[in-house]
């Protein structure tokens, strides 16, 4: 791999529209110790849900037919039919903690392994290329095969070892084209969130590593939407409760939303109507919800909560996907559950992680659904 070129680190400072920062993080704390960079547990106690495994609900006339994609968070990527039967699997050689992947038209995948990198595999799990990176959380595949992936680096900041996120842009062969650096962008970003506790000087030297933004999602707008140009980058910065849209060249913050409304969110995505759907974890309030925002007005246009609200709660991780028929696929990561909601907010499909060992269920980082025609040609060839 070539040396990354940090040529995007930022001209966004002078070009942002000033905003009044919110007075606090929604559901967050002012204690720097709550921003320590901690790993995730991948198993959940499952006493009350233990009998549930695989597909437990399938309203065939209502659920959107498709192929469901997720990882075991070890080395395996899976494609399941609507009954939960395995259609295909990919095994990632020499890497573990496989977090997420994107399916390609030929049956190959682009797959992210936490802090190890991004690999392109063919449909038979043969490695085509591999980029060794401190990758995490998400990847966005562009037309032509280029990839944008969140990465991070450690910076000495206010007397602490602090992780700052980056966006690393790879070409179709896995070579690094450039890097956008949130550390260089922090003054511009700070206009859109409350003062960060990690900006206060440390009281004493420490070897603890902290996590400033915790960037957990990137999506590239495929077309113009709600007045924002194609190729704008939609990011989620969990630790400051913030969604932002960056201009295609990373030079401006075009839009921001979240503080005072969202609580440690994940998985924002653009809907066909040009709105933004996000998994609002609600770690501070004790229950999760789904929120849809019109970025042209900043109005919340739709929300969904369980009844009672605490019946749906993933304090960390979590994902949501607006499906082609208007339904919503929801990953409640910490319980290892995925469910599909119809337009009225009723469940029409449900899946539970089938891996249970010693009373603990394997969590699901994210499930995505693709339409059958996205897999038909290469599955039929097998």
Residue 365 predicted with pLDDT over 90: yes
Task: Name every residue whose Cβ is closer than 8 Å to that of residue 374 and which is 6 or more positions away in sequence.
Answer: 67, 103, 105
**pLDDT (0 to 100) of residue 37:** 75
The more confidently predicted of residues 269 and 205 is 269
Predicted confidence band at 33 (pLDDT cuts at 50, 70, 90)?
confident
Altogether, the residues listed in the chain come to a count of 382
Number of H helices, E strands in the chain: 2, 29
Predicted confidence band at 41 (pLDDT cuts at 50, 70, 90)?
low
Neighbours of 77 (CB within 10 A): 22
**pLDDT (0 to 100) of residue 42:** 64
**pLDDT (0 to 100) of residue 22:** 36
Q: Write out pLDDT tens, residues 198-217.
A: 999 998 888 999 999 999 99
Q: Write out pLDDT tens, residues 47-77.
A: 667 788 899 999 999 999 999 999 988 899 9
Predicted confidence band at 43 (pLDDT cuts at 50, 70, 90)?
low
Residue 3 predicted with pLDDT over 60: no
**pLDDT (0 to 100) of residue 2:** 44
Q: Write out pLDDT tens, residues 302-327.
A: 999 999 999 999 999 999 999 999 99
DSSP 200: S
* 3-state secondary structure at position 185: helix
Predicted confidence band at 19 (pLDDT cuts at 50, 70, 90)?
very low
% pLDDT > 70, the chain = 89
**pLDDT (0 to 100) of residue 295:** 97
The more confidently predicted of residues 102 and 205 is 102
Closest CA to 220 of 260, 177, 167: 167
The whole-chain average pLDDT of the chain stands at 90
DSSP helix, strand, coil percent of the chain (3-state; round to 5): 10, 40, 50
Query: Where is 347: in which H helix or E strand?
Result: strand 347-352
**pLDDT (0 to 100) of residue 52:** 85
Mean pLDDT of 230-244: 98
């Amino acid at each position: 791999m070539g040396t990354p070129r940090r040529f995007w680190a930022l001209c966004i400072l002078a070009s942002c529209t000033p905003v009044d920062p919110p007075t606090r993080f929604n559901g967050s704390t002012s204690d720097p110790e709550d921003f320590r960079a901690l790993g995730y547990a991948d198993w959940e106690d499952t006493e009350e849900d233990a009998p549930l495994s695989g597909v437990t609900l399938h309203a065939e006339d209502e659920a959107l037919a498709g192929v469901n994609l997720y990882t075991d968070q070890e080395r395996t990527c899976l494609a399941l039919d609507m009954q939960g039967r395995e259609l295909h699997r990919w095994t990632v050689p020499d890497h573990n903690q496989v977090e997420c992947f994107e399916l390609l038209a030929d049956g190959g995948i682009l797959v992210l392994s936490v802090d190890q990198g991004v690999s392109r595999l063919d449909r038979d799990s043969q490695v085509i290329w591999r980029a060794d990176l401190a990758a995490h959380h998400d990847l966005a595949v562009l037309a032509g095969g280029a990839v944008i992936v969140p990465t991070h680096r450690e910076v000495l900041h206010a007397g602490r070892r602090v992780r700052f996120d980056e966006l690393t842009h790879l070409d179709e062969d896995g070579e690094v084209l450039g890097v956008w650096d949130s550390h260089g962008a922090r003054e511009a970003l700070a206009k859109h969130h409350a003062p960060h506790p990690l900006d206060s000087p440390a009281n004493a030297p420490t070897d603890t590593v902290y996590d400033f933004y915790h960037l957990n999602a990137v999506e590239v707008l495929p077309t113009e939407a709600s007045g924002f140009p194609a190729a704008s980058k939609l990011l989620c910065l969990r630790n400051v409760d913030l969604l932002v849209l960056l201009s295609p060249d990373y030079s401006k913050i075009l839009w921001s939303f979240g503080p005072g409304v969202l609580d440690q969110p994940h998985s924002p995505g653009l809907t066909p109507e040009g709105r933004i759907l996000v998994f609002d974890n609600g770690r501070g309030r004790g229950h999760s919800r789904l929120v849809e925002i019109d970025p042209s007005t900043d109005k919340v246009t739709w929300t969904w909560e369980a009844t009672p609200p605490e019946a749906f709660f993933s304090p960390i991780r979590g994902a949501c996907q607006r499906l082609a028929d208007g339904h919503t696929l929801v990953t409640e990561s910490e319980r290892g559950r995925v469910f599909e909601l119809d337009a009225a907010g009723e469940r029409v499909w449900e899946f539970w992680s089938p891996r249970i060992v010693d009373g603990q269920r394997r969590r699901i980082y994210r499930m995505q659904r693709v339409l059958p025609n996205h897999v038909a040609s290469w599955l039929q060839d097998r």
